[in-house]
Amino acid sequence: MMNKPFRPALLAGACLAALAFAAPAFAGKTLDAVKQRGTVKCGVTNGVAGFSAPDTQGNWSGLDVDTCRAIAAAVLGDGKKVDFVPLNSQQRFSALQAGEIDILARNTTWTLTRDASLGFNFTTITYYDGQGFLVPKKLKVTSAKQLKNATICTQSGTTNEKNVSDYFRAQGIPVKTVVFESFEASFKAFFSGRCQAFTTDASALAGLRNKEATNPDDYVILPELISKEPLAPLVRRGDDEWFAIAKWVPNALIEAEEFGITQANADELKASSKDPAQQRLLGSGEDLGKLLGLDKDWSFRAIKAVGNYGEIFERNVGPKSVLKLPRGSNNLWSKGGLIYAPPVR
């Protein structure tokens, strides 16, 4: 084999590429605006139990809320520095496009159409859901395939409206879909008897049955899930630095669960752990924050503010919540679920 000629230009290019990988990130216009303002503007629902809902004092809680609190802790040092902006389904995308919010964390499904046509980047899937049906027990319906000629309530401007149409058309089952502009109007119409069934994401159905029904035991969630609903926060395209932060903060919370770091033991492990993976997440080892335009303790603060992914799940939608949903697909990949984060290293 002939020896290839030495090419200094190629070597120089490789060296420059290596330096680029190690260089700190530029702050980016959104991060600059957030720091100047002193808060993260987070678009959320008008109130969906388990994901984003205010209590009677106006204090927000939920899985999406905790995502925004974690980002605020990583960026601003305080998980309470969040302005929550309630948005309905029709408002959510235009608010993000117009720059009225920095991130949309509003139980929004990642689809090709939304990803490719709206000028957004989805970040990290924080909940794997699927669309289901809620019906009164008195109807004695045990399957969605028994809903022939039923009237089904849902909300307009969502994936639910199209999914229910596609599902029953494919099954050859005639139904009548009644759509409402707001989520509240749609489920109130169902509970008042306007429709025989209500359809939305299964996680939301559990919350509605437990919180809105006069007697939750009078209603049943049917076994079929008719769609894939991977829920993820969104940010505007064109700001790669902010996109990276919004992506890696949730990933760090997932890895924290994998490596046994909790809200309660984070301080102790930060001081004593010799595990390089734990050290990277706790700010006591390799400094990865500079690659995001942040400091060394970015992920440590996020964990301290809201806990790891498992703690967030359990508190908001799992056994310790009103929804009492099983981990299921939302368990870690190492425990049979789909939750899998790229490595923080």
Q: What is the pLDDT of residues 113-129, one digit of tens each?
A: 999 999 999 999 999 99
Q: Can you give the pLDDT at residue 322?
A: 85
**Distance in angstroms (rounded) separating the CA atoms of residues 313 and 324:** 10
**Distance in angstroms (rounded) separating the CA atoms of residues 39 and 80:** 9
Regions of the chain where pLDDT drops below 50: 1-2, 4, 6, 8-22
Q: Which residues contact 125 (CB under 8 A, 6 or more apart)?
A: 110, 230, 231, 232, 338, 339
Kindly state the tokens that stand for 57: 């004092």
Give the model confidence (pLDDT) of 35-57 as tens digits. 999 999 999 998 888 999 999 99
Cβ 103 vs Cβ 71: under 8 Å = yes
Q: Can you give the pLDDT at residue 25?
A: 52
What ranges make up the beta strands (E) of the chain?
40-44, 53-54, 60-61, 82-86, 103-104, 120-122, 127-129, 131-136, 151-155, 176-180, 197-201, 219-221, 229-231, 234-236
Q: Can you give the pLDDT at residue 46?
A: 87
**Which region, left, alpha or beta, applies to residue 146 given φ > 0 means left and ψ of -120 to 50 means alpha?**
alpha
**Distance in angstroms (rounded) separating the CA atoms of residues 195 and 177:** 9
Q: Which residues contact 331 (CB under 8 A, 6 or more apart)?
A: 337, 338, 339
Q: Can you give the pLDDT at residue 11?
A: 46
Q: Can you give the pLDDT at residue 157?
A: 83
Please state whether beta strands 103-104 and 40-44 pair in parallel, antiparallel, or not at all (unpaired): parallel
Single-letter code of the amino acid located at 248:
W
**Distance in angstroms (rounded) separating the CA atoms of residues 247 and 254:** 11
pTM of the model as a whole: 0.86
**Distance in angstroms (rounded) separating the CA atoms of residues 232 and 311:** 18
**Distance in angstroms (rounded) separating the CA atoms of residues 210 and 219:** 10
Q: Can you give the pLDDT at residue 26?
A: 54
Query: Residues in the chain, how many?
Result: 345
Kindly state the tokens that stand for 285: 């080892």
Instruction: Give the chain's domains with CATH numbers.
Output: 29-128+231-251+309-330 (3.40.190.10), 131-227 (3.40.190.10)
Q: Can you give the pLDDT at residue 57?
A: 94
